[in-house]
A = this chain, B = another copy of it.
Amino acid sequence: MSAMSGWSLAELAEKFEVQLRGNPGQRIYSLQGLKEAGPDSLSFLANRRYLDLLKTSNAGAVLLHPSYADAYNGNVLLTEQPYLLYARISQLLEQSLYPELPGSYRHPGAQVAESAQIAAGVRLGPCVVVGERAVIGAGTVLEAGVVVGDDCSLGAGCHLYPHVVLYPRTQLGQCVRIQAGSIIGADGFGFAPSANGWVRIAQLGRVVIGDYCDIGANTTIDRAALGETWLGRGVIVDNQVQIAHNVRIGDYTAIAACTGISGSTDIGQRCILAGGVGLVGHIQIADGVQLTGMTMVTKSIEQAGSYSSGTAFEPTAQWKKTAVRLKNLEQMQRKLTILEKELLQLQTRQGSNDARKSRKQEKIKTGSAQE
């Protein structure tokens, strides 16, 4: 079972405990999309909108939910969760593309303080710097140019890609992955105004990141003013995310790229923040909240559910008109109120009862927006 020899479908079915339909001896050497896959490749259907591609796919085998089993004539591995099985098999194939090197290694250009504790199987690339009293867990990999400050602590099995910087006293759990260029533990943005300008508030806290967190590239997580900036277990964070000082993020929350979270905000567990979201500081976000892309969150959210803000895009010429009208909403509201009053006066003179009736109806409607 290796990259060279590939994997037979029988081997995959046994390893991942799923049902195989078709040729057990068919060998798989790579993963591909339904369109690109040839007879040596495994593919998958995770979204019904690609059902048409399934019919014409040349894949050697396809991961399918049982309800689509009949939609493909070739070899299939049947699973209730095709996307999850795809994830697991992708990790298997990764090892052939990017084999993890075994054993300890220290590049001669790595700078390691004498007081640092380096466990077994740690690999240190060129230009790595490890500070005083830092503790690096077993099997952790620090790629070129990674800087680990004094008194940092990294669990076993972490992987830090090139140029990641951990400021002093940062603490990572086990199996934390951080993509290149991310900066963990930089100064939180805290200043007190004075007559002579801003006076810096020294940031005396640190960053603590839980087990199995996965952090993207060029992301920044600032250390706390006092206490901790804290990420729970299994939090996943994309590229260019900004997490300010004293933020707390609950277990298994996912944060997509370009999102910014202001200081001391507390985000619950299993939330999903899409890209470009912004949150003000000092608010609480409940467990299970989802925020769509570019949502601006200006106060706490107490109920799980999906939230959004922003306006739909339009051709620019039209958008300019909408923008003007938006500013005129107040005037529209006022005109509407006057019209209502005047109409009522007219109706009263006519002795009409219609007005009262329809107003009653409106009151009934107001509870649920129906249109």
Residues on A lying within 8 angstroms of B by beta carbon are 30-33, 36, 81, 83-84, 86-88, 90-91, 93-94, 97-98, 107, 109, 111, 125-127, 129, 143-145, 147, 161-163, 165, 167-169, 177, 179-181, 183, 186-187, 189-194, 197-204, 212, 214, 216-218, 220, 222, 225-227, 233-234, 236, 238-240, 242, 244, 251-252, 254, 256-258, 260, 262, 274-276, 278, 280, 290-298, 305-336, 338-343, 345-347, 349-350, 352, 354-355, 358-359, 362, 365-366, 369, 371
A359 vs B233: C-alpha distance when bound (angstroms) = 62
Given the interface contacts A36-B227, A81-B194, A183-B179, does A342 sit within 8 Å of B354 by beta carbon? yes
A365 vs B337: C-alpha distance when bound (angstroms) = 13
Supply 17 A–B pairs (Cβ within 8 Å), ascending by A. A90-B203, A126-B129, A161-B186, A181-B181, A183-B218, A216-B220, A242-B258, A242-B275, A295-B313, A306-B316, A308-B319, A310-B310, A321-B371, A333-B371, A341-B358, A342-B347, A346-B346
Q: Are B330 and A326 in contact (CB under 8 A)?
A: no
Q: Are B354 and A226 in contact (CB under 8 A)?
A: no
Interfacial chain B residues near A226, Cβ < 8 Å:
31-33, 36
Q: CB within 8 A of A84: which of B199, B341, B347?
A: B199
Q: Are A278 and B275 in contact (CB under 8 A)?
A: yes
* 7 nearest A-B pairs in the assembled complex, by CB-CB distance: A94-B202, A87-B192, A309-B313, A197-B234, A90-B202, A186-B217, A306-B316
Q: Are A321 and B358 in contact (CB under 8 A)?
A: no
Interfacial chain B residues near A354, Cβ < 8 Å:
342, 345
Q: Are A187 and B197 in contact (CB under 8 A)?
A: no
Q: Are B220 and A218 in contact (CB under 8 A)?
A: yes
Nearest Cβ on chain B to A214's Cβ, whole angstroms: 6
Known pairs A30-B204, A87-B202 / 7 extra A-B pairs, C-beta < 8 Å:
A90-B225, A177-B200, A186-B216, A216-B220, A218-B240, A334-B365, A342-B358
Interfacial chain B residues near A165, Cβ < 8 Å:
161-163, 180-181
Q: Are B333 and A314 in contact (CB under 8 A)?
A: no
Interfacial chain B residues near A107, Cβ < 8 Å:
111
Interfacial chain B residues near A330, Cβ < 8 Å:
321-322, 325, 369, 371
Interfacial chain B residues near A318, Cβ < 8 Å:
369
Interfacial chain B residues near A161, Cβ < 8 Å:
165, 167, 186
A318 vs B329: C-alpha distance when bound (angstroms) = 11
Given the interface contacts A345-B352, A369-B318, does A81 sit within 8 Å of B192 by beta carbon? yes
Q: Are B91 and A194 in contact (CB under 8 A)?
A: no
Q: Are A180 and B186 in contact (CB under 8 A)?
A: yes
A327 vs B31: C-alpha distance when bound (angstroms) = 44
A129 vs B350: C-alpha distance when bound (angstroms) = 89
Q: Are A181 and B218 in contact (CB under 8 A)?
A: yes
- A92 (CB) vs chain B CBs: closest residue: B202
Interfacial chain B residues near A145, Cβ < 8 Å:
127, 129, 145, 147, 163
A191 vs B295: C-alpha distance when bound (angstroms) = 22
